[in-house]
Amino acid sequence: MPALTDRERYVRYLTGQDVDRTPFAVFWGPWGTAWQRWKAEGCPFESFDAVMAHYRCEVQRMSIPINAGPCPRIEEVRLEENDESFIWTDGWGIRRKNFKHSESMSQFLEFPIKGWDDWRRFKKERLDPHHPQRLAGDWRKVGREWAAAGRILRLGYFPDVGIFGSLRWLLGDEECLVSFYTQPDLVADIMNTMTDVYVAVFDAVASELPIDEMHIWEDMSGRQGPLISPAHWRQFMGPCYDRLHEVAQRRGIPLTSVDTDGQPDLIVRPMMEHGVNLLFPLEVAAGCDANEYRRKYPTLGLIGGIDKRCMAVGSGAIDAELARVAPAMRTGRYIPAPDHLIPDDVSWANYQYYLSALERLVGRA
């Protein structure tokens, strides 16, 4: 077989074509406190990007730098602060509380949309699909340079590109779930409006650059399963995904990926029916098993599925975990990787061991 670029190997492997071996993926990265620990333990690199470069990571998905979220952008503002925490508003207008000395999700205090009046105003002020600032900047030049270097070009990014993801940013977790029953028209209008933005921006970019992956961030599952039913997924989200899939087909984008933590099994089939062919991160603590997913969804590309907690235990646990996912990898379309960010109970020595063991597993060492 002719030598493959990282980009060719990634796309071919995940779409079920012949390749020389499984791609070697160095992600996810560490939480900030884990990085601080690694530096204290002698990590010689100045950034995690430098770690990826040193280990020659073959899966570097470069998100085209455009604006598919609120536009003009909402300025992040720090509102209150003390020795332990600070309160701020983010780029979606969400008021949050973050703690300074630990790593966790924010405490969400207030969301921007309380009802139709708020939504109409936000939609008018921030969600014009054709606002000139959406495609400002040097994304064409950067994208062509990445393509020439064999990088994987991706459209879509956290936290701005998600059909359910944007709904929860605007309404809040509980209110958005209740609204499927109490305000279904509002749910549908928000999802359709966000899709208008994504379709316009993605189609424009993909008409000029060779995009490999359309990415949708959702985070719509927990340990108990999806946050909405398969019926609601098909009713509300299916038509939005169909419109995105039409762009992917017309512009020759081979991969459409979804990122959702938790256990999404009940909504995987609906996603695949509407164009999704790549899923991650297969969170093990939520019950995801890469071997079972490969058996159940043989045409679906997968990334993740390695229980990050094994790295805190040591080399024996790491070896056992990689042996557990090896059968899934041998069937193809599955790139082994941690199932989320690396926590600070993982030492730098253990992480280095994990990377070396993963290299051996994929056949690159």
Query: What is the pLDDT confidence band of residue 1, given thresholds at 50, 70 and 90?
Result: confident
- pLDDT the model gives residue 284: 98
Predicted confidence (pLDDT) at residue 304 exceeds the cutoff of 80: yes
Query: What is the pLDDT confidence band of residue 212, given thresholds at 50, 70 and 90?
Result: very high
Q: Where are the domains of the chain?
A: 6-71+114-362
Predicted confidence (pLDDT) at residue 69 exceeds the cutoff of 80: yes
Predicted confidence (pLDDT) at residue 11 exceeds the cutoff of 90: yes
Predicted confidence (pLDDT) at residue 343 exceeds the cutoff of 90: yes
Torsion angle of C-alpha atoms 330, 27, 16, 233, degrees rounded to 10:
110
Q: What CA–CA distances, in Å, run from 88 to 71, 119, 262?
A: 19, 21, 27
CATH of 6-71+114-362, one of 3.40.50.300, 1.20.1250.20, 3.20.20.210, 2.40.340.10: 3.20.20.210
Predicted confidence (pLDDT) at residue 103 exceeds the cutoff of 80: no
Residue % of the chain over a pLDDT of 70: 100
Predicted confidence (pLDDT) at residue 105 exceeds the cutoff of 90: no
Predicted confidence (pLDDT) at residue 98 exceeds the cutoff of 90: yes
Query: What is the pLDDT confidence band of residue 101, given thresholds at 50, 70 and 90?
Result: confident
Which is more confident, 51 or 3? 51
Q: What are the tokens at 297?
A: 């969804």
Per-residue pLDDT tens for 117-139?
Answer: 999 999 999 999 999 999 999 99
Mean pLDDT of the 197-207 span: 98
Q: How far apart are CA 30 and CA 341, in angstroms?
A: 5
Q: How far apart are CA 210 and CA 60, in angstroms?
A: 15
Predicted confidence (pLDDT) at residue 364 exceeds the cutoff of 90: no
pTM: 0.96
Query: What is the pLDDT confidence band of residue 14, given thresholds at 50, 70 and 90?
Result: very high
Predicted confidence (pLDDT) at residue 94 exceeds the cutoff of 80: yes
Per-residue pLDDT tens for 215-248?
Answer: 999 999 999 999 999 999 999 999 999 999 999 9
CA nearest to 159, candidates 89, 95, 232, 67? 67
Residue found under tokens 């598919």: 68
Q: What CA–CA distances, in Å, run from 363 to 327, 330, 358, 360?
A: 14, 11, 9, 5
Per-residue pLDDT tens for 147-158?
Answer: 999 999 999 999
Query: What is the pLDDT confidence band of residue 104, given thresholds at 50, 70 and 90?
Result: confident
* pLDDT, mean over the chain: 97
214 and 247 in contact (C-beta within 8 Å)?
yes
Query: What is the pLDDT confidence band of residue 54, given thresholds at 50, 70 and 90?
Result: very high
Q: Which residues have CB under 8 Å from 275's CB, separation 6+?
A: 241, 242, 244, 245, 248, 256
Mean pLDDT of the 163-182 span: 98
Predicted confidence (pLDDT) at residue 365 exceeds the cutoff of 80: no
Predicted confidence (pLDDT) at residue 309 exceeds the cutoff of 90: yes
